[in-house]
Amino acid sequence: MIPAIVGFGSALPHSAEQRELWDGFFAAHFGGSALAHRLFSAVGVRRRHTVVNPVEEDLSGWTTAARMRRFDEHAPPLGHEAVRAALDDAGLDPQDVRLLTVASCTGYGTPGLDIKLAGSLGLRSDLRRLFVGHMGCYAALPALGGVADFVAARGQPAVLLCLELTSLHIQPPTADPQQVVSHALFGDAAVAVVVDPRAAGLAVVDLEAFTDTSGLDHMTWDITDLGFRMGLSPRVPDVLGRHLGAVIGDLIGRNGLRLADIDGWAVHPGGPRILDTVETTLGLPATALQPSRNVLAERGNCSSATLLLVLEELVSDGLRAGSHVVAMAFGPGLTLYATLLRVTA
C-alpha cells in the first residue's frame, strides 16, 4: 500500500497588506530607516495573514508567556478548521483517523494542540498523536515522512497539520537587517493534509534529507523572554546552492528519473533569493516555481505550513495521472529536505 495525500484543508486569519503594515507600523518600528524600507519592499510579499496585526496591537514588548497564551487562543480554532476541511476534501470521517501529527515552531503548551483538536474534532479515544516541534520551515517534510511511514505500515489514514502563528513573535525595535527581513516575510497559516493508502492522490514515493552542520548559525530560531527571535543569514541561498543539485539528483536518480521527468515543483518560498537559487541551480524554466512565488506574494513565508500551501496550489492547477512532483524545504541546521511524489489515479 502506497501512502498518498488525498485531502487538503487550510485556515487563514485576517489578511494584511504589506504596504499598510509598513506605513502603519514598521516604518516607525525601524526608525524610518531607508535600508529597512528597501529590504521590506524587496521580499516579494504583497499581503500576509496574521492573528495579530501590529498596526492594531503591538506585541513587541510582550513576554513569551503572554504570547503563548495568545497562541492558545488562536491556534485551536484555526487547526480545527484546517483539519475539518482536509477530512471533508478526502471524504473521511474524524473517526477514520488513526494518527494525528501536528507540526509547529511558534507555540507550545500542555495539554497540547494535538489533544485539544482530538477533542474538538471528535477523534478516536485510541488515536495516536505526535507533535513535531521547533524544526522550523522544513518541518512539513520530515513530519510527512513519519506520517507516510505509519500509513504504509498500518494501512490506516492519518492527518498532518502544520500550524504557525509567526505574528506572535514580533521583536523589539532593532537596526539588524536580519530582523527587518524576517519581519517582512513571515505570516500565519494552518494547513492540514490527509494521508491514506486506499485512494488516489499524491503518492509519497521517497524522501531525502541533507544537513550542512557548518551552517548552524545561518538560520536560527531562539526562545527569548520576548518571544522567539529569528536569525536569517544572507549566506543561506549560497550554501543551499552548493548542495541542492546533488541532493535532488540522488532523490530522483535512485527512482529512475531525470530532472526533465519532474512535472511539478513545490519549493518552500523562504524568500525570493531562495527561489532564484533553486531555479538557477536546477536549470528550471521561469514558470516552474510560479506556485511558490504566488504563495510568497499572497501568504508570505508561513514557516512549516508554507510548503503545504504550495502543494495545494500546485494540485489545484491540475496534474495528470503519473506526473511526478518534487517538494523541497529548507531550515535550521542548515537543512534541506526533499520528497518525491507521484500523482495516482
Q: Grid coordinates in use for 215?
A: 551552517
CB count within 10 Å of CB 88 equals: 13
Task: Note down the domain range covering 145.
Answer: 4-196
Q: Tell me: the pLDDT tens digits for 106-127?
A: 999 999 999 999 999 999 999 9
Global pTM reads 0.97
Mean pLDDT for 35-63 is: 97
Handedness of CA 289, 325, 202, 330 (dihedral sign): negative
- Which of 168, 196, 224 corresponds to the end of one domain? 196
Handedness of CA 150, 152, 155, 159 (dihedral sign): positive
Q: What are the strands, taking DSSP E only, across 12-157? A: 15-17, 47-49, 99-104, 128-133
Question: What is the reported pLDDT for 344?
Answer: 94
Mean pLDDT for 84-90 is: 98
CB count within 10 Å of CB 125 equals: 5
Domain count, the chain: 2
Beta bridge partners of residue 208, listed in sequence order? 338
Q: Are 257 and 205 within 8 A, CB to CB? A: no
Within this chain, do residues 255 and 329 fall inside the same structural domain, yes or no?
A: yes
Within this chain, do residues 19 and 165 fall inside the same structural domain, yes or no?
A: yes
All residues at 6 or more sequence positions from 205 whose CB lies less than 8 Å from its CB, including other chains: 2, 255, 324, 339, 340, 341, 342
Within this chain, do residues 37 and 148 fall inside the same structural domain, yes or no?
A: yes
Within this chain, do residues 224 and 153 fall inside the same structural domain, yes or no?
A: no
Q: What are the strands, taking DSSP E only, across 167-252? A: 188-196, 202-211, 219-224, 227-232
Which sequence positions are flagged as catalytic?
Answer: 137
- Which of 154, 169, 196 corresponds to the end of one domain? 196
Q: Please state whether the peptide bond connecting residue 285 to the residue before it is cis, i.e. omega within 30 degrees of 0.
A: no
Query: pLDDT confidence of 70, banded at 50, 70, 90?
Result: very high
Query: pLDDT confidence of 216, banded at 50, 70, 90?
Result: confident
Within this chain, do residues 169 and 211 fall inside the same structural domain, yes or no?
A: no
Within this chain, do residues 167 and 315 fall inside the same structural domain, yes or no?
A: no
Within this chain, do residues 128 and 8 fall inside the same structural domain, yes or no?
A: yes
All residues at 6 or more sequence positions from 319 whose CB lies less than 8 Å from its CB, including other chains: 263, 264, 325, 343
Within this chain, do residues 146 and 221 fall inside the same structural domain, yes or no?
A: no
The mean pLDDT value of the chain amounts to 96
Within this chain, do residues 56 and 123 fall inside the same structural domain, yes or no?
A: yes
Question: What is the reported pLDDT for 182?
Answer: 95
Q: What is the CATH number of the domain that holds 103?
A: 3.40.47.10
Mean pLDDT for 235-246 is: 91
Exposed/middle/buried for 138, CB within 10 Å: 0-12, 13-18, 19+? buried
Kindly tell me if the per-residue pLDDT of 172 is higher than 80: yes
Which residue has cell 531525470? 258
- Which of 196, 218, 248 corresponds to the end of one domain? 196
Q: Tell me: the pLDDT tens digits for 247-264?
A: 999 999 999 999 999 999
Q: Grid coordinates in use for 197?
A: 493508502
Q: Grid coordinates in use for 240?
A: 543551499
CB count within 10 Å of CB 115 equals: 17
Within this chain, do residues 131 and 231 fall inside the same structural domain, yes or no?
A: no
Mean pLDDT for 67-95 is: 98
Handedness of CA 6, 78, 144, 102 (dihedral sign): negative
The rounded Cα 332 to chain-centroid distance in angstroms is 13
The rounded Cα 340 to chain-centroid distance in angstroms is 17
Kindly tell me if the per-residue pLDDT of 101 is higher than 90: yes
Within this chain, do residues 206 and 125 fall inside the same structural domain, yes or no?
A: no
DSSP secondary structure string for all residues of 123-171: --TT-EEEEEES--TTTHHHHHHHHHHHHHHH---EEEEEEEEGGGGPP
Q: Please state whether the peptide bond connecting residue 334 to the residue before it is cis, i.e. omega within 30 degrees of 0.
A: yes
Within this chain, do residues 11 and 32 fall inside the same structural domain, yes or no?
A: yes
- Termini Cα distance of the chain: 14
